[in-house]
Amino acid sequence: MGDAEISERNPRRQPPRKKLAASTAASPAIVDDLLDRLERHRDHHFRRLPSRRIKHERAALAFINEAGFCSAFTAGLGVPCLREAIEGRREPPLPEHIQHDPAIMMTWRLKDSLPAQRKVYYGKVIGGRPGFIALDLLPAFLRLRIAPANYLAHYRKGTLSHCAKLVMDQLTRRGPTETMALKLSSGYSEPKRRAEFDRAMKELQEKFLALKVEERYDPFTYVWDTVAHQWGDAMREARSLSPLAAAEILLRRYFTLAAYGSDRAIARILGLDLSLAERAAQRLERTGLIRRDLLITGLRDAASALIKHLD
């Protein structure tokens, strides 16, 4: 199960620091006794509690829609994780025999069934790991990730690999296509070229150019298509958003669920330009949702946090 990946989370905790009365422009405020409250907020909204764990598909869909986006298998990224929510506890370890783990198997089924019903978007789109996106947030992701020109223009600029370009050529001409047909048509069917082909498919998913639309099990294979073919309506809606408005939509949902995070970490996990993430966070601070530039005891970097937890 290649999708089931695990992250090694190391917050690099700092020694306790004295709390300052107020922040200044040159020196961020240091806040003690906050991290536990923020993690309890995540426990509730990430469903990392036995009383709130997910037990069936309907609850899983509600969780994804509430979260807006979540990883599928990988806990510890700072965003909700479906497998973690099914377990109902923080960062459950990956078992030795994953095929016998109920949470992994349920997640595995859901990453097939929910996208097949077009109820969610699924791909390697959250921190480069497999994840789900709720349909109401899909236009914001598309506005920020999809290149404004067509894929050929970006290939000419050097921002799209040659293998990815050949795959897009095939998908654009033929529509949904099995993996082996893509390997053969692109010239990457030899075993020694598998790693390069896999990198290209990951690249296309992260850029929201192509996505997996079906898994066939007899024999096992994936079927791929372009995002333009599959989600044309969402792409048209994305064009009505400015990049800053799209970034603000994503960060607002992020802080509502995750409660805290640094601009750099949020930009990395959501695939945003750092300067754009900073500007969106500044706008959220002006609306009173978050406070920025806090040095929270237990975290290495300055972070923003929901203002309601600072009282």
φ, ψ of residue 266 in degrees (nearest 5): -65, -45
Sort residue 297 into left (φ over 0), alpha (ψ -120 to 50) or beta: beta
φ, ψ of residue 257 in degrees (nearest 5): -95, -45
How much is the pLDDT for 139? Answer: 96
Q: Averaged over 275-295, what is the pLDDT?
A: 97
pTM: 0.86
DSSP classification of residue 73 = S
Spatial neighbors of 81 by CB under 8 A, at least 6 apart, are 46, 70, 71, 72, 73, 74, 75
Contact at 8 Å (CB) between 227 and 118? no
How much is the pLDDT for 109? Answer: 95
Q: Is CATH 1.10.10.10 correct for 147-236?
A: yes
How much is the pLDDT for 8? Answer: 33
d(CA 192, CA 216): 24
Q: Which long-range contacts (CB under 8 A, 24 or more apart) does 99-107 make?
A: 99/1, 104/1, 104/4, 104/73, 106/60, 107/4, 107/72, 107/73, 107/82, 107/83
How much is the pLDDT for 181? Answer: 95
How much is the pLDDT for 79? Answer: 97
Which range, of 49-53, 60-64, 155-159, 281-285, averages the lowest pLDDT? 155-159
pLDDT in tens, 100-157: 899 999 999 999 999 999 999 999 999 989 999 999 999 999 999 876 568 888 899 8
How much is the pLDDT for 195? Answer: 96
Q: CB neighbours (10 Å) of residue 293?
A: 17
pLDDT in tens, 292-306: 999 999 999 999 999
DSSP classification of residue 81 = B
**What are the CA-CA distances from residue 59 to residues 52, 53, 62, 110, 177 (Å)?**
10, 9, 5, 11, 32
How much is the pLDDT for 21? Answer: 37
Percent above pLDDT 90 for the chain: 78
pLDDT in tens, 189-211: 999 999 999 999 999 999 999 99
pLDDT in tens, 21-44: 344 444 566 667 899 999 999 999
Q: Averaged over 278-291, what is the pLDDT?
A: 97
pLDDT at 12 over 50: no
Residues facing residue 216 across a β-bridge: 221
Which range, of 114-123, 183-192, 213-222, 233-242, averages the lowest pLDDT? 213-222
Torsion of CA 114, 116, 118, 120, to 10 degrees: 40
Q: CB neighbours (10 Å) of residue 79?
A: 26
How much is the pLDDT for 149? Answer: 61
